[in-house]
Amino acid sequence: METHEASSSLTPHARGTPRPVHSSGVVLRAVLQEGLAQPQAAIKVGGVPLPGEIDWPAVCAVAHRARIAPIVYQCLRSASLPVPGDVMDWFRVQHYDTVARNLASLNVLRTVLEMLAGAGIPAMAFKGPALAQLGYEMARSWKDLDILVGPGAIDRVESVLFAAGYRLMPDPPHPNHRRYAVRGDARDTALEIHFDISDPLLAYRPDVPAIWSRSGAAKILGLTARVPDLTDHLLLTVMQLPHHRWSLRLVLDIWQVIRRWQEAVDWPAFFERARAWRMLALTRSALCMLTTSLGASLPESVASAVRPVGYYDRLRLEIATQSISEQFEHPFRPRVMWLAPFVVTERPADVLRILTRRLLAGGEAMGDGRIETAVRRNLKSIEVLPEVIRVIAASVLPPPQGHGDVGSRKGSTR
Amino acid sequence: MSPEIDGKARVIKNAQVAAHELGGTEGGVLLHLKSGQYHGVDSVGWVIWNLLDGSRTFDEFVQQLRLHYPDAPDGLLDETRTFIHGLLERDLAEVVGPGSDTPA
């Protein structure tokens, strides 16, 4: 028995042999697909078919960048893939560090919720730990603590937080939340108090009063808090995808929530709300991409509802697929994913409107430097145009038979 | 310096420590909420941590541990004492007065 201080070090794995070198994307997909298909205590069976060298430093770099290293570690523990000891040690340290950060963050959340309850301010925890409870639990990393309050309560919340020593962070003003720094927190936890959850740029319109009315108290990682109902929370997670450029962490969240809870999700209501919130196209593309790119299982009726119909559907799916591919392979060099937030829209006509707003406003942040931000972002958009044109052209023809066949699998839901 | 642990000492977790089990045979993570330092403990350490509720003297504690690990080597007593010393040094646990029925 022992205690040990966590430390992070990684010796680069020997490379340079003529054998094929598997990229981060190939390895991560294989490990996640195998690992997430097994219960945690599973005996190692089967195998990840990866003969040849693995670029482990690249795998670690992508996992770290995407903040999914603890989830990958969970999968590696049960995967049959042989992993070098130093690589496994690195992942283990990431897991320890994430669990420790999460414990500290949960302590902050408990304190803040108690303060708000004491002041008689209804508050709902969402994203972060509330989402972790539905998915990977303590292996899911988060940095911000997101709390939704009523639209008229933000000034009272601020008084409570200031009295407790919290301070407003010097971010540009945001139309739907304010961010506060936690006093004496060495781990940089940010408290994000939302008084709205619609997306100002992309025009998604979640029905906030209905979300409140459907929410309820639940245990999240050991503390009790009001949280959105499961179906709403899944949709709210999908809604974040464009803003976060189809981040791997969110994609894995959605995948895991569906794996664990697909029989509890109210699917007819899910699609009905997606339409009412003006995010049906995004939702269908996201779920379809999960099945075609990651092999996720969906109920037959859901798989059928998300199957692409027509050119614009295929284009959206292709862009989602390319985006997630980039996230797996080279998240440091975004190409199609740079534009994905503005192309995966309800109607083709929305693209021009959103791009124009983005050109003029530089995104949703309206603070100093917005012209510079707008110029930088739009130069980037021009740079990736050839790749986008390739995707647009590739979507003209219907996919070969078998592609997009998402309806036949119906595996375990837990 | 951490206090000596004699057979009558009762040790209890520091209330300012948050803990989480890692699953499998990995033990757990202990986070000192005030200092922000965290520590990994192996699976045996995790069992010990969970037994540190202040209800047993150290001698009773070791007996309880032997029930968990009937094949434990003779050095269990010393190793447990060393481990608990480590917890005390890191302010992860504290000694409650000998003979005290209720933890301080």
**DSSP labels for A389-401?**
HHHHHHTSSPPPT
On whether residue A266 sits in a domain, the answer given is: yes
The radius of gyration computed from the CA coordinates of chain B, to the nearest angstrom, equals: 13
On whether residue A300 sits in a domain, the answer given is: yes
Report the half-sphere exposure of A77 (CA within 13 A, side-chain side). 21
Kind and range of the H or E element at A69?
helix A69-78
Domain check: are A216 and A234 in the same one? no
Structural domain count, chain A? 3
Domain check: are A208 and A253 in the same one? no
On whether residue B104 sits in a domain, the answer given is: no
Q: Where are the alpha helices (DSSP H) in A299-364?
A: 300-306, 311-329, 336-343, 348-361
pLDDT digits (tens, 9 = 90+) for A314-354: 988 998 999 999 999 988 887 887 777 777 777 777 777 77
Matching residue, tokens 């029930």: B67
On whether residue B78 sits in a domain, the answer given is: yes
Q: Structure tokens of A294?
A: 């990651």
Domain check: are A77 and A112 in the same one? no
Domain check: are A58 and A156 in the same one? no
Tell me the one-letter amino acid at A83.
Answer: V
Long-range CB contacts for residues A286-290, cutoff 8 Å, separation at least 24: A286/A238, A286/A241, A286/A251, A286/A254, A286/A320, A287/A254, A287/A258, A288/A317, A288/A320, A288/A404, A288/A406, A289/A251, A289/A317, A289/A320, A289/A321, A289/A324, A290/A251, A290/A254, A290/A255, A290/A258
Contacts of A99 in chain B (CB under 8 A): 20, 22, 29
Nearest to A115 by CA among A150, A84, A161: A161
- A223 has a chain B CB within 8 A of its CB: no
- A106 has a chain B CB within 8 A of its CB: yes
On whether residue A14 sits in a domain, the answer given is: no
- A5 has a chain B CB within 8 A of its CB: yes
On whether residue B26 sits in a domain, the answer given is: yes
A369: three-class secondary structure by DSSP? coil
Q: Which residue of B has its CA nearest to A42?
A: B24
On whether residue A9 sits in a domain, the answer given is: no
On whether residue A99 sits in a domain, the answer given is: no
| CB nearest to A103's CB, from B26, B29, B40 | B29
Domain check: are A340 and A266 in the same one? yes
Banded pLDDT at A10 (limits 50, 70, 90): very low
On whether residue B54 sits in a domain, the answer given is: yes
Contacts of B44 in chain A (CB under 8 A): 1
pLDDT digits (tens, 9 = 90+) for B61-88: 888 888 888 888 888 888 899 999 999 9
Q: Is A393 exposed, middle or buried (0-12, 13-18, 19+ CB in 10 A)?
A: exposed
Give the pLDDT of residue A46: 54
Give the pLDDT of residue A370: 64
Report the half-sphere exposure of A144 (CA within 13 A, side-chain side). 14
Domain check: are A74 and A128 in the same one? no
Domain check: are A110 and A178 in the same one? yes
Give the pLDDT of residue A401: 52
> What is the nearest CA distance from B84 to chain A, expressed in angstroms?
10
Alpha-carbon gap, residue B94 to B52, rounded angstroms: 10
On whether residue B102 sits in a domain, the answer given is: no
On whether residue A4 sits in a domain, the answer given is: no
Domain check: are A219 and A244 in the same one? no
To test the contact with chain A by mutation, choose from B13, B21, B31, B46 the residue with the greatest count of A C-beta atoms within 10 A, namely B31
- Beta-carbon separation of B22 and A95 below 8 A: yes
Domain check: are A186 and A261 in the same one? no
- Beta-carbon separation of B41 and A3 below 8 A: yes
Give the pLDDT of residue A315: 87
Q: Domain range for residue A68?
A: 22-83
- Beta-carbon separation of B29 and A96 below 8 A: yes
Q: Which residue of B has its CA nearest to A43?
A: B24
Which residues are registered as beta bridge partners of B13?
A: B93
On whether residue B53 sits in a domain, the answer given is: yes
* Cβ atoms < 10 Å from Cβ of B24: 12
pLDDT digits (tens, 9 = 90+) for A269-280: 999 999 999 999
Percent of chain A with pLDDT over 90: 55
Q: Domain range for residue B15?
A: 10-96
- Beta-carbon separation of A1 and B20 below 8 A: no
Give the pLDDT of residue A358: 65
Domain check: are A180 and A263 in the same one? no
- What CA–CA distances, in Å, run from A189 to A42, A114, A354, A404? 34, 17, 31, 40
Contacts of B13 in chain A (CB under 8 A): none
On whether residue B33 sits in a domain, the answer given is: yes
Report the half-sphere exposure of A398 (CA within 13 A, side-chain side). 9
- B18 has a chain A CB within 8 A of its CB: yes
Contacts of A186 in chain B (CB under 8 A): 36
* Cβ atoms < 10 Å from Cβ of B95: 20
The whole model's pTM is what? Answer: 0.83
| CB nearest to A1's CB, from B24, B39, B44 | B44
On whether residue A242 sits in a domain, the answer given is: yes
Report the half-sphere exposure of A400 (CA within 13 A, side-chain side). 0
Q: Structure tokens of A160?
A: 């409570």
DSSP codes of every residue in A39-56: -TTPPP-S-----SEE-H
Domain check: are A270 and A379 in the same one? yes
Give the pLDDT of residue A13: 43
| CB nearest to A6's CB, from B33, B40, B45 | B40
Give the pLDDT of residue A37: 72
pLDDT digits (tens, 9 = 90+) for A80-105: 788 999 999 999 999 999 999 999 99
Q: Which residue has the higher pLDDT, B3 or A163?
A: A163
* Cβ atoms < 10 Å from Cβ of A326: 22
Percent of chain A with pLDDT over 70: 80
Kind and range of the H or E element at B84?
helix B76-89
Which residues are registered as beta bridge partners of B53?
A: B12
Kind and range of the H or E element at A293?
helix A280-294
- Read off the DSSP letter of residue B33: T
| CB nearest to A2's CB, from B19, B23, B45 | B45
Give the pLDDT of residue A42: 45
Q: Structure tokens of A331?
A: 């998240």
> What is the nearest CA distance from B52 to chain A, expressed in angstroms?
15
Alpha-carbon gap, residue A354 to A112, rounded angstroms: 36
Average predicted confidence (pLDDT) for chain A:
83
Contacts of B50 in chain A (CB under 8 A): none
On whether residue A6 sits in a domain, the answer given is: no
- Beta-carbon separation of B38 and A96 below 8 A: yes
Domain check: are A167 and A269 in the same one? no
Stretch among A16-20, A52-56, A282-286 having the lowest mean pLDDT: A16-20
A58: three-class secondary structure by DSSP? helix
pLDDT digits (tens, 9 = 90+) for A124-181: 999 999 999 999 999 999 989 999 999 899 999 999 999 999 999 987 788 899 999 9
> What is the nearest CA distance from B88 to chain A, expressed in angstroms?
12
ipTM over cut 0.85: no
Alpha-carbon gap, residue A92 to A97, rounded angstroms: 9
On whether residue B103 sits in a domain, the answer given is: no
Banded pLDDT at B26 (limits 50, 70, 90): confident
Alpha-carbon gap, residue B18 to A357, rounded angstroms: 46
CATH assignment at residue B48? 3.90.930.60
Structural domain count, chain B? 1
The last residue of a domain, from among A170, A203, A227: A227
- What CA–CA distances, in Å, run from B75 to A1, B78, B79, B82? 12, 5, 6, 11
Taken as a whole, chain A contains a residue count of: 414
To test the contact with chain B by mutation, choose from A3, A73, A95, A108 the residue with the greatest count of B C-beta atoms within 10 A, namely A3
